[in-house]
Amino acid sequence: MEVESEHEADSERASDTRLTMSADDPAAFTPLVERYSVVLHGYFARRVPGAADDLLAEAWLQAFAARRTFDASRGSARGWLFGVARNVLAGHLRRAARAEAPPGEQVSDPWQAVDQRLDAAALAPALRGALAELPPDEREVLLLVSWEQLTPAEAAAAVGIPAGTARSRLHRARGRLRERLAPGRPAGRGLAVTGDPA
């Protein structure tokens, strides 16, 4: 989350400390579950609504098992936890793809479910189309910032890329969306917050 208050900043730092401590003191981990479960559940619910409840528990167990790999000097607990959630989501999507898709086909981008969500929310088709045209790696960091309220650095940590790379992807994504949705362009004309502008 982009820290906007001193209190929030302190809370985030306390989480970093708590996750660090949990390497030696497992009981220090449980308050993190209380603090971040809602946001992590939201991450899953937006991408795989039917499996969010199960994936939340799976993500926490994986995070607990991997807690010693957290390094506060490399990033925040929040970004690290979303990285764990992302791995859990990818594993889920791979399992689902193996069960449903033809052999050899890899599915790791939840765009289809995301697009259905945008459709259900009656998001302007121009924006939906513009998002669909974004490269998946740019779209992923954009949605982490927009929906999960992560900072670019936290989104980078979640995806496992350098912060500079994440900023570049975000910059490019914003540029593409601005170009595609600029007023006066046919695709962007009449763009509304919701509803069908066409």
Partner 1 sequence: MTERQAVMDFPGAEALQTAGRVAPPSAEVLARALSAVEGAVREDLARASRQEADGKARTNAVVTPLRKRRRLLSVVALAAVAAGVTVTGVSMGGGARQGTQAQSASAFLNDVAEVAATQPAGSGTYWKVRADAMEAYISRSMEARYITPGKAVRTGHFPGWRLGSRTYDWNGLDALTTDPAQLLRLIESTTKASADEDEDAGTLGFVQASTLLADAPASPRLRAGVFKALAELKGVTVVGTVKDSVGRTGTELAYRGGVGTTKVIIAPKTGTLLELIEPWRSEKDQRTATYLSVGLTDTTG
- Residue closer to partner 1 by CB (options 53, 106) is 53
C-alpha–C-alpha distance, residues 193 and 159, integer Å: 29
Q: What minimum distance in Å lies between the beta carbon of 103 and partner 1? A: 33
Q: What minimum distance in Å lies between the beta carbon of 90 and partner 1? A: 19
C-alpha–C-alpha distance, residues 194 and 128, integer Å: 11
- Residue closer to partner 1 by CB (options 93, 152) is 152
Residues of the shown chain interacting with partner 1 in the complex, contacts defined by CB under 8 A: 2, 4, 13, 16-17, 20-21, 23-27, 29-30, 33-34, 37-38, 41-42, 45-46, 49, 52-53, 56-57, 60-61, 64-65, 68, 71-74, 76, 117-118, 121, 123-124, 126-127, 130-131, 142-143, 145-147, 149, 151-152, 170-171, 174, 177-178, 181-183, 188, 191-194
Q: What minimum distance in Å lies between the beta carbon of 44 and partner 1? A: 9
Encoding tokens for residue 95? 């399992």
- Residue closer to partner 1 by CB (options 108, 194) is 194
- Residue closer to partner 1 by CB (options 13, 94) is 13
Q: Do residues 67 and 54 lie in contact, with contact meaning Cβ atoms separated by under 8 Å?
A: no
C-alpha–C-alpha distance, residues 31 and 29, integer Å: 6
Q: Do residues 76 and 154 lie in contact, with contact meaning Cβ atoms separated by under 8 Å?
A: yes
Q: What minimum distance in Å lies between the beta carbon of 101 and partner 1? A: 26
Encoding tokens for residue 120? 């259900």
Give the torsion sign (CA, 67, 72, 74, 78). positive
Alpha helices (H) in 72-148, listed in sequence order = 77-100, 111-120, 125-133, 136-146
- Residue closer to partner 1 by CB (options 89, 126) is 126
Q: Which residues contact 122 (CB under 8 A, 6 or more apart)?
A: 194, 195, 196
Q: What minimum distance in Å lies between the beta carbon of 58 and partner 1? A: 8
Q: What minimum distance in Å lies between the beta carbon of 102 and partner 1? A: 31
- Residue closer to partner 1 by CB (options 111, 147) is 147
C-alpha–C-alpha distance, residues 149 and 181, integer Å: 23
